[in-house]
Structure 1
Amino acid sequence: MTNETKSKFGFWSIVLLGINGVIGSGIFLLPGKAMALIGPGSVFVYLFMTLVVLTIALCFAECAGKFSRNGAAYVYAREAFGEFIGFEVGIMRWAIGIIAWAAMAVGFVTALSAVWPPALQEPYKTTIILTILCGLGLLNYLGVQLAKVVNNLITVGKVLPLLFFVVLGAFFIDFGNFTPLYPKGFDLDSFGAAALLIFYAFTGFEALAVAAEDMENPRRNLPLALMLVMGFCSVVYFMVQAVAVGTLGADLAKSVAPVADSANAIFGPAGKWLVTIGTLISIGGINVAASFLTPRSGVALAQDGLVPRKIAENGRFNTPTWAIFITVLLAIPVALSGSFVKLAAISVVSRFAQYVPTCLAVIVLRKKRPDLEGFFRLPLVPFIPIAAVVVSVWLVSKASTEQILWGLGAMALGVPLYFFMKKQGNA
């Protein structure tokens, strides 16, 4: 095995990277909000979203099996629909990755303030945010091997408290708390609103294929890892909601830290502290994943000349120095703006700019590029991709006008940049 191969992510490291990229703050904070929207029937919203996300993830799995380069949704859209659509998807992926990472950095400070209130006060807030962004940027600059080790350790550290919570918490569920399932009656609009909210907890899987070039045998390992990651996360999410509803009942709707409050009800203060620490590790871990994956979106664009090619160049430690530097530089002012709620809302809606083109790319690539044989072949095409697109459009329709304008309106910023690069002869 060569040194280059040793420095890359192996299969189980890819799986851990995927879990780290999906399990973040959402699962620790959303159960109470879902309960408030729809009641105990919120557990079925998780089942519904599992089916939705799995259809999208399966589309990513087929496309990931056809390519072994960085970029993910950008690469698939470019190959299927041409350079301009590919650029729009790619620039969205990079921009939203930066915004999402900035929001996660602010989210860590917010979570930390629950146990250390001064974290939200200056100069502590700015210092912590700068330490997270610059520190993780330096970590990635120093090499993939170091990032891989840190990612693996943090992912294990965040998953263990959740597994402890769901396995032992299942014995304390009071099934009487599940009746009535829908206290206000079943309403499709409320169900859709809850689904869009919960969808946030599932996002992040699409970023896994962005760094394909830093992985061993990505055409085989990525499809398998995607399916394993989403299967694992879906089971954990469903059980977390079930335990939270079963232990807190109606009080869950009033909780701002539902998993921690549920752990307190089951295990006492020690359980609450364990989950709180797990929350901090979880949000810290998703920052690690974002810091590694986000710059690779810029690398993919630069490799095709859609942004300056220098951004794709590797530095002393065989990592994309300029892509990492630019990503950190842009993330800092966004994070210091402190608008966590708005940034999170933008990142949710904007993800569909990657999901819809990728689902459609499955159909187009089979006809346009039959020579691209992947490791995984999605069954029931075109039914599954089309179903994923229809449900995605339905979910976006449940967002507010402001969320849609901020989330999808950002694509307009890529238009002048594309034609500027075209005029410069780089595209």
Structure 2
Amino acid sequence: MNDKKWNLQTIVLYGINSVIGSGIFLLPGSAYDHLGPASLLAYLFVFVLVMSIALCFAECGSMFEQSGGPYLYTKQAFGDFFGYEVGVMKWIVSIIAWATMAVGFSTALSALIPQIASPVLQKTIAIGIILTLSLVNLLGINIMAYLNNIATVAKLIPMAIFILGGIWYVEGSNYTPFIPADLTINSVSTAFIIVFFAFTGFENLGVAAGDMENPKRNVPLALIISMSFVSVVYFFVQFNCVGILGADLGGTKTPVADAMGRVWGSNGLLLVTLGTLISIGGLNIASSFNTPRCAQALAEGRLLPKFMMKNNKYNVPYISVLITGGLAILLTLTGSFAELAAISVISRFSQYIPTCIAVPVLRKKSFGHAGYKVPFGLLVPAIAVVASLWLLANADLYKLVTGLGAMVLVAPLYILMKKYSSVENSRP
């Protein structure tokens, strides 16, 4: 029994849901701390950088109908080993992120219901979220499409209210002086990095391409539409926060809540709390769908055991879903995410850089008949690679070392998997 595959509308909403999280309610203050009102320019500049990377993903995505995303593009361009490193790191970090977001949801919920603030109850709720979404996943992609669409629209409602309603309360004087007198190169680069990481998540779109209608057309189109939409939302959230709070935006840890509280009082604060809860809930839904597909794609490439690609009657990789959910629950029980999450920086760029470099390589191969082609020759991939290397060079050294260490640790597993795969293939 095959579910109907996701259409373009659902894929676009999935892209938006994968990027916009609770960070949008915290981001404006961090960006303002470093650039003041000129933080608005950071969004425009980062939009160019992010779109250069997203366009590379769009071209690579237009060449394939299979699931896998950056793992698949890297594997086809540079071979099994590099594909394995990208794919396994992606899967591991996605599991960590899901466990973190499940705990984050229970923490945000405790702000509304103080009675559940104890660590035991919060972990119980987090485990319940992972278990429930894993079981729902087993029922097919149709129900996941409904959940994704509802969650995405719901998380956009508070933002729409803030953007459309708050714009009437901005004060022009809060935008001057536009560029701070004490501006430094270091503050500019720090602000760009902060804003850049708020745009991450778009790389998930191609991971489940096999569950999408006409992925060669719809994946690249959804990438461009969703990232353009996210950029507009982010820009105007920052614009309103600067215009409403002015200098008070600097140093606040809850910028959107402060701005909405100033305009609408306690009702505004409640709206932000609900918006945060919905945003984190939406990310949990996206993660529960996307993360098992990372394992499925690796299994289809014989880089994880073959049984992990098995589907149930709803065409869902049920073993990958159950194993992924089980690992996320184990991480939730440990409760120590800081060290594990440190490898996420390397994981991001181990997807971005190979995908951008893969564009000219795949063009020369038989995969080069892309439905979408990045304009301006190799200029855009070159900008994307340089931007990625620059951001990587400015990342925290501890995170870089931890991430590289993780990549070294998983490398021997590649040899074991190749041997396991050859034994499996030799069986009658």
TM over 0.5: yes
* Residue in 2 that maps onto 1:128: 125
Deviations 1:221-277 (A, max 9, x none): 111100000000000001001111111112222322211221111222212212221
* Contact residue 260 and residue 271 of structure 1 kept, 8 A: yes
* Residue in 1 that maps onto 2:12: 15
Does 2:356 match 1:354? no
* Residue in 1 that maps onto 2:369: 373
In 1: Cα distance, 2:137 partner to 2:355 partner: 28
SS in 2 for 1:317: coil
Q: 2:191 is matched with which residue: 186, 189, 194?
A: 194
Give the deviation of 1:211 after TM superposition.
0.4
Q: 2:394 is matched with which residue: 395, 398, 410?
A: 398
* Contact residue 29 and residue 256 of structure 1 kept, 8 A: yes
* Residue in 2 that maps onto 1:206: 203
TM-score where L is the length of structure 2: 0.94
CA gap 1:156/1:217 in 2 versus in 1, 3 angstroms? same
* Residue in 1 that maps onto 2:84: 87
1:150-169 map, 5 Å: 150-169=147-166
Give the deviation of 1:337 after TM superposition.
3.4
In 2: Cα distance, 1:86 partner to 1:130 partner: 31
Give the deviation of 1:43 after TM superposition.
1.5
* Residue in 1 that maps onto 2:302: 305
In 2: Cα distance, 1:381 partner to 1:337 partner: 48
Deviations 1:27-62 (A, max 9, x none): 112211222233222111111111111010000000
Segment of structure 1 superposing worse, 66-75 or 397-406: 397-406
* Residue in 1 that maps onto 2:237: 240
* Contact residue 88 and residue 415 of structure 1 kept, 8 A: yes
* Contact residue 38 and residue 184 of structure 1 kept, 8 A: no
Q: 1:228 is matched with which residue: 199, 221, 225?
A: 225
Does 2:320 match 1:329? no
Give the deviation of 1:118 after TM superposition.
4.5
In 1: Cα distance, 2:38 partner to 2:86 partner: 35
* Residue in 2 that maps onto 1:65: 62
AA matched with 2:413: L
How well do the aligned residues superpose, as a CA RMSD in angstroms?
1.7
Segment of structure 1 superposing worse, 334-343 or 56-65: 334-343
TM-score where L is the length of structure 1: 0.95
* Residue in 2 that maps onto 1:411: 407
1:172-183 map, 5 Å: 172-183=169-180
Does 2:417 match 1:421? yes
AA matched with 1:380: F
SS in 2 for 1:160: helix
In 1: Cα distance, 2:32 partner to 2:77 partner: 41
In 1: Cα distance, 2:303 partner to 2:130 partner: 26
Deviations 1:139-167 (A, max 9, x none): 11111111111111111101111111111
In 2: Cα distance, 1:247 partner to 1:120 partner: 32
Structure 2, unmatched stretches of 5+, are none
In 2: Cα distance, 1:164 partner to 1:259 partner: 12
CA gap 1:408/1:179 in 2 versus in 1, 3 angstroms? farther
AA matched with 2:419: K
SS in 1 for 2:368: coil
Q: 1:102 is matched with which residue: 77, 99, 102?
A: 99
* Residue in 2 that maps onto 1:53: 50
CA gap 1:347/1:116 in 2 versus in 1, 3 angstroms? farther
In 2: Cα distance, 1:29 partner to 1:113 partner: 18
Give the deviation of 1:406 after TM superposition.
2.4
SS in 2 for 1:351: helix
* Residue in 2 that maps onto 1:113: 110
In 2: Cα distance, 1:423 partner to 1:35 partner: 53
Q: 1:382 is matched with which residue: 378, 381, 385?
A: 378
Q: 1:74 is matched with which residue: 48, 71, 75?
A: 71
In 2: Cα distance, 1:243 partner to 1:263 partner: 10
* Contact residue 70 and residue 211 of structure 1 kept, 8 A: yes
AA matched with 1:407: G
SS in 1 for 2:37: coil
CA gap 1:110/1:341 in 2 versus in 1, 3 angstroms? farther
Deviations 1:276-307 (A, max 9, x none): 21111011001100110011010011011111
In 2: Cα distance, 1:335 partner to 1:197 partner: 26
Structure 1, unmatched stretches of 5+, are none
Does 2:9 match 1:35? no
AA matched with 1:138: L
In 2: Cα distance, 1:336 partner to 1:245 partner: 40
Report percent identity of matched pairs. 49
1:338-353 map, 5 Å: 338-340=335-337, 345-353=342-350
CA gap 1:355/1:321 in 2 versus in 1, 3 angstroms? same
Give the deviation of 1:364 after TM superposition.
0.9
In 2: Cα distance, 1:184 partner to 1:131 partner: 51
In 1: Cα distance, 2:299 partner to 2:356 partner: 24
Does 2:262 match 1:257? no
* Contact residue 100 and residue 343 of structure 1 kept, 8 A: no
In 2: Cα distance, 1:237 partner to 1:345 partner: 25
In 2: Cα distance, 1:392 partner to 1:184 partner: 29
Segment of structure 1 superposing worse, 175-184 or 262-271: 175-184
Segment of structure 1 superposing worse, 29-38 or 125-134: 29-38
In 1: Cα distance, 2:314 partner to 2:365 partner: 38
In 1: Cα distance, 2:282 partner to 2:371 partner: 29
